[in-house]
């Protein structure tokens, strides 16, 4: 209940701060509560969009806009990202002013993450002159410049968290409960993530990726996540509850089911019942993206998110960054340098994810030891990494970054039925700018389409 009260005080602050002439400031503790919580919420908000693009989720209704990659204004998600980044800027500035370097460093790491998610979704976005209330028509910074800013913020955050401080972070931190060493690991893990995003550019340096993750997570215990509580359920639980109440949401894509039930890869993945629910007949049946449920619309005939699954239970943690993801980043970066290391990291990533969500040790060993998974270092391919990373990133927006980096080239991945015809047969590469931007700041909004890639996806 104390956390809930602190969140309320921060909401009051947000209302106050809409007036730039009001000098009232939120204490850094209140800002820390709000920004750690809202950073996790923003991961959910982006995942709630991108999970349709990578075909984790599918709409039960045919030709649903999000399912077929129509141009949609995601203004609420844009607003929440910028609201969080504004609060983080206040947190960083206030912490710097009083010498609270650990708060400052944590703020810089979260600002880097929220900015990175924004750039990954829209490309060029306002930032350098956007987080001040007086400027209602900020200019747009280039996506490439903003990636450099993401990495700068991560380095600054790691430095600030690595030193001594007289003002330590307390239990106002929803992610690590004030543990500065964990924040340093988190910062390095994110540094590896964003350096690895550059894999299709001349800037890519796999050795730099490996150097960063060598200082990152050591096990699942280091995962950056937010634990939910009775007053604030995990948002994926809300999606599952909506579906229970016939507000249809959280339907699982046919492509995901077939990648796990043996259809695509020839091996049954024991993670299915931990990730989503079976039909009333006890089978896992997905919905074809863009086509909807067809004639099988009765309750129970398609798999959905359910509240007794790992990801969508009321008090389930929401993952921001995980050790399992880090091991797959290591596998990719090491692939052309040390294939044995890459192969070991790939297998470790599978095991880490399975252990995280509660798969039994026997089922883990059976799956990993199957010839379809333990292919051997000699026959090991990048496709194996991306296939398993796709499962481990379930519902996470990072999966869309990967899908674009490999041109959606997953086995069994087909464009949605009724694909938006304006895409010319291509698949979506970025979100369209919100209506609020095109109406109020149209002179600065870049002239791009849904198929225009961001710089590291070209």
Burial class (CB in 10 A: 0-12, 13-18, 19+), 139: middle
How many angstroms separate the CA atoms of 56 and 144, rounded?
29
The backbone torsions φ and ψ at residue 252, rounded to the nearest 5 degrees and listed phi first, read -90, 140
The CA–CA distances, whole Å, from 341 to 168, 234, 311 equal: 37, 36, 30
Average pLDDT over every residue of 230-253: 92
Dihedral sign for Cα 173, 356, 54, 458, please: positive
pLDDT surpassing 60 at residue 220: yes
- For 94-150, what is each residue's pLDDT tens digit? 999 999 999 999 999 999 999 999 999 999 999 998 887 667 899 999 999 999 999
CATH code at 2-226+315-432: 1.25.40.390
The pLDDT, as a whole number, for residue 18 is 39
The pLDDT, as a whole number, for residue 26 is 62
Contact 56, 252 (CB under 8 A): yes
Average pLDDT over every residue of 292-304: 70
The pLDDT, as a whole number, for residue 21 is 29
- For 53-65, what is each residue's pLDDT tens digit? 999 999 999 999 9
pLDDT surpassing 80 at residue 310: yes
Contact 184, 215 (CB under 8 A): yes
- For 57-87, what is each residue's pLDDT tens digit? 999 999 999 999 999 999 999 999 999 999 9
pLDDT surpassing 60 at residue 198: yes
- For 423-447, what is each residue's pLDDT tens digit? 999 999 999 999 999 999 999 999 9
In this prediction, residue 230 has a pLDDT band, given cuts at 50, 70 and 90, of confident
In this prediction, residue 293 has a pLDDT band, given cuts at 50, 70 and 90, of confident
Which residues are CB-neighbours of 313 under 8 A, at least 6 positions away? Answer: 234, 237, 307
- For 4-54, what is each residue's pLDDT tens digit? 333 433 333 233 233 332 223 569 999 999 999 999 999 999 999 999 999
Contact 109, 157 (CB under 8 A): yes
How confident is the prediction for the chain on average, in pLDDT? 92
Tokens 């990495």 belong to: 151
- For 373-428, what is each residue's pLDDT tens digit? 999 999 999 999 999 999 999 999 999 999 999 999 999 999 999 999 999 999 99
The pLDDT, as a whole number, for residue 1 is 29
The pLDDT, as a whole number, for residue 295 is 61
């Amino acid at each position: 209940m104390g956390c809930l009260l602190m969140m309320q005080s921060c909401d009051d602050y947000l209302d106050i701060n809409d007036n730039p002439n009001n000098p009232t400031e939120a204490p850094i503790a209140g800002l820390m509560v709000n920004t750690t919580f809202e950073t996790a919420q923003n991961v959910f908000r982006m995942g709630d969009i991108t999970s349709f693009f990578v075909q984790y989720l599918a709409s039960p209704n045919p030709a649903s806009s999000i399912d077929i990659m129509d141009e949609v204004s995601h203004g609420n998600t844009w607003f929440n990202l910028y609201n969080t980044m504004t609060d983080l800027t206040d947190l960083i500035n206030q912490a710097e002013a009083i010498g609270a370097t650990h708060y400052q460093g944590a703020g810089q790491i979260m600002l880097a993450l929220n900015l990175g998610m924004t750039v990954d979704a829209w490309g060029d976005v306002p930032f350098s002159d956007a987080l001040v209330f007086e400027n209602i028509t900020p200019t747009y910074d280039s996506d490439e410049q903003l990636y450099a800013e993401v990495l700068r913020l991560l380095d600054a955050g790691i430095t600030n968290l690595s030193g001594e401080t007289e003002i330590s972070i307390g239990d106002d931190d929803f992610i690590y409960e004030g543990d500065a060493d964990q924040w340093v690991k988190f910062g390095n893990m994110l540094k590896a993530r964003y350096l690895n995003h550059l894999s299709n550019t001349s800037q890519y340096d796999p050795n730099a990726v490996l150097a960063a993750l060598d200082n990152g997570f050591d096990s699942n215990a280091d995962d950056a996540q937010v634990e939910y509580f009775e007053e604030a359920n995990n948002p994926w639980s809300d999606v599952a509850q909506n579906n229970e109440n016939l507000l249809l949401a959280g339907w699982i894509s046919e492509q995901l089911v077939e990648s796990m039930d043996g259809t695509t890869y020839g091996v049954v993945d024991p993670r299915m019942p931990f990730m989503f629910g079976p039909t009333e007949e006890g089978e896992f049946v997905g919905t074809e993206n863009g086509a909807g449920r067809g004639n099988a619309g009765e309750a129970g005939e398609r798999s959905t998110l359910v509240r007794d699954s790992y990801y969508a239970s009321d008090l389930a943690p929401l993952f921001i960054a995980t050790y399992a993801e880090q091991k797959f980043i290591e596998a990719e970066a090491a692939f052309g340098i040390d294939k044995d290391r890459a192969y070991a990291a790939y297998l470790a990533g599978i095991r880490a994810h399975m252990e995280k969500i509660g798969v039994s040790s026997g089922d883990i060993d059976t799956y990993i030891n199957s010839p379809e998974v333990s292919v051997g270092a000699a026959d090991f391919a990048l496709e194996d990494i991306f296939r398993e990373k796709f499962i481990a990133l379930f519902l996470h927006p990072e999966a869309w970054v990967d899908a674009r980096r490999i041109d959606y080239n997953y086995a069994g991945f087909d464009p949605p039925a009724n694909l938006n015809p304006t895409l010319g047969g291509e698949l979506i590469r970025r979100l369209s700018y919100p209506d609020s931007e095109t109406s109020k700041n149209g002179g600065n909004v870049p002239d791009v389409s849904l198929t225009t890639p961001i710089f590291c996806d070209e």
